Chain A
Amino acid sequence: MPEWDDRDIIEGFRVQGREELAFNQLVAKYQERLYWHVRKIVIDHDDADDVLQNTMVKVWRSLADFRSESGLYTWLYRIATNEALSFLKQKKKKAFAPWVDVESQMSESLEADPWFNGDEIQLKLQQAILKLPEKQRIVFNMKYFDQLKYEDMSEILGTSVGALKASYHHAVKKIESMLDED
């Protein structure tokens, strides 16, 4: 079955009796991209699965109200980013020892994570990324791994293209310096 374009998905969702079909198309089309975006923020697979489910449930409940002026793709990314950040915030609140940094824990757990298959350089890169401030981390991942355009990132994160370029620039410099230290 050919992949539906975004307009067909949105219009399909508004036709009574076709909501589920349209939603299935949306899930099939975007689940992997959103999963990888979320996974790089929360690192753990089970956490990424929870966040992706929360994201899709939210999409199912609000797609009928979606305003077509913004792209479906950027809207989905925005919801997924918010859900991932919300998840991390809750995780920090629930942390057994509040003085322990959740990002440091995620960084340490990477080494023993059976679902991480990067080589030593990739491990060091991920650990360096986890040391970045949250926004720079997200911007770096979106630009470097997902190769999103600054204009799309601007719509997703609600910040200017200039500020995003600045964040990416700082992130790259910090990562270079962290990798040089090792």
Chain B
Amino acid sequence: MQKQPFLVPEGYFESFADRLHQRIQEEDSSRVPVRRIGTTTRWLAMAAAVLAAALITTSIIRLSSSKSEGFYPDMAILEQMQVLDDDRFLYELLEAETVEMDDEEAFASQAIEYLAINDVEMDLIFE
């Protein structure tokens, strides 16, 4: 690992775990307790969720098939649905970079990606 040009206050890492536990305890104590639900209610909720998922999927398939000639759904939309909410910033990051690239950069990226896929040792090229 390269030398970091940043500093931390003295004892920061030594005290981090204690501060973290304190925060978790505080958050836990201020949380509203989760109400336990009965088996019947749970089954009803699961059935409702399955129905909602089926309706959403059908709507997307209809929507995408109305845009394109074929019957197949737009894979990009389906893929996006599978992306965890937690990863949305990474996906935004990847999309943003494509927009920021000019033609020359985009061409270079494609060329480098092609070489990488074909197992050309990239580190030798970059040196």
Q: Counting CB contacts under 8 A, is A9 at the interface? A: no
Neighbour of A133 across the interface among B9, B91, B97, B126, CB < 8 A: B97
Chain B: interface size category: 35 or more
Q: Please, how many angstroms separate the alpha-carbon atoms of A79 and B109 in the complex? A: 26
**B interface, by DSSP: helix, strand, loop or mixed?**
helix
Contacts of A10 in B (CB 8 A): none
Of residues 3 through 19 on chain B, the ones whose CB sits less than 8 Å from some CB of chain A are 4-9, 12-13, 16-17, 19
Residue from the list A24, A27, A157 in contact with B90, Cβ < 8 A: A157
Interface residues on A, range: 35 or more
* A147 CB within 8 Å of chain B: yes
Q: Closest CB of chain B to A136's CB: distance in Å?
A: 7
- Write out the residue numbers on chain B whose beta carbons fall within 8 Å of the beta carbon of A52: 16
Stretch at the interface among A91-99, A100-108, A115-123: A115-123
Contact present for B94 and A135 (CB under 8 Å): yes
B25 CB → nearest A CB, Å:
11
Give the docked Cα–Cα distance between A35 and B15 (Å).
Answer: 14
Q: 23 pairs across A/B with beta carbons < 8 Å?
A: A24-B17, A27-B16, A31-B16, A36-B4, A40-B6, A49-B12, A57-B20, A58-B86, A85-B92, A114-B7, A126-B5, A133-B100, A134-B96, A135-B97, A158-B87, A158-B90, A160-B116, A163-B109, A163-B113, A165-B113, A165-B122, A170-B109, A172-B126
User: Using a CB–CB distance below 8 Å, which chain A residues touch chain B?
Assistant: 24, 27-28, 31-32, 35-36, 39-40, 45, 49, 52-53, 56-58, 60, 78-79, 81-82, 85-86, 89, 114-119, 122-123, 125-126, 133-136, 138, 144-147, 157-163, 165-170, 172
Inter-chain pairs besides A82-B86, A162-B113, 20 sampled, C-beta below 8 Å: A31-B16, A36-B6, A78-B87, A82-B87, A85-B89, A85-B90, A114-B7, A116-B7, A125-B5, A135-B97, A145-B1, A158-B94, A159-B94, A162-B115, A165-B113, A166-B108, A166-B113, A166-B116, A169-B112, A170-B108
